[in-house]
Amino acid sequence: MEGLGTISWTQALCATRDAALLELFFSEEPGEIARAKAICSACPLRLPCYEGALRRQEPWGVWGGQLFDRGEPIDQKRTRGRPRKNPVAVPVAARVEEDEAVA
């Protein structure tokens, strides 16, 4: 894509022309997703990229510094496995420390 209107997509920081970053922007690993978001944070085309992904309802990946899943931006990927049915019990000592920190 050479350009769209006045936007030159070759200026995007992810446009390496060799797909070297492709796996990074479509990774399942939280660390790699964070690296992709960091690349986007300094990109001059971050906003048009994000807006385009919203318009196209991109099924997954990092677009414009945001993680997409099923066409919607999300904060983070859910970890693998089933979610817990019951919340994890917090030890009493941890609750006491937490209460003291608030006070």
Q: What local confidence, expressed as pLDDT, does residue 67 receive?
A: 93
Residue in 60, 41, 73, 56 with CA at minimum distance from that of residue 14: 41
Site of tokens 């990946």: 61
Q: What local confidence, expressed as pLDDT, does residue 10 receive?
A: 86
Q: Which two tokens stand for residue 30?
A: 């939280």
> What's the whole-model pTM score?
0.65
Q: What local confidence, expressed as pLDDT, does residue 47 receive?
A: 94
pLDDT average, residue stretch 15-24: 84
Burial class, 48, CB count within 10 angstroms (exposed 0-12 / middle 13-18 / buried 19+): middle
pLDDT, one tens digit per residue, over 35-86 is: 999 999 999 999 999 999 999 999 999 999 999 998 888 876 666 666 667 7
Say yes or no to pLDDT of 6 above 60: yes
Domain segments of the chain as ranges: 1-78
Q: Which of 25-29, 54-58, 86-90 has the lowest mean pLDDT?
A: 86-90
